[in-house]
Chains A and B, each alone.
Chain A
Amino acid sequence: MHPALSVIVFTTFSGMGYGLFIWICGNILIGTPPFREEIIFGTSMSFILVATGLLSSVAHLGRPERSWRAFSQWRTSWLSREGIMSILTFGPIIFIGGETYLNTGLDFLIMPMALLGIIGAVITLYTTSMIYASLKAIPAWHNKWVIAGFQVYALSSGGVAYIMVAGWQHYQIVMDLLVFALAVKIMTWIYIDRNRGQYKRESALGLSDFGKAKPFEPAHSQKNYLQREMGYELGSLRRTVMRWLALGGGFIIPAALLYVGFPLAPVIVVICLIGMMAERWLFFAEAEHVVRLYYDKDEI
Chain B
Amino acid sequence: MIPKTKSLVLSMGLAALLAGCAHPSSSKEQDHGIANGKMESMLHSRSDSPVHTIVMPHDEPVFPPGSGRDEFVTACVVCHSPRYITMQPRFSRTTWLSEVKKMKDVYGAHISDEQVLKITDYLVSINGQTGTGQGPKGTYGE
A binds B: no
Instruction: Give chain B's interface residues, CB within 8 Å of chain A.
Output: none
Q: Which residues of A contact B (CB under 8 A)?
A: none
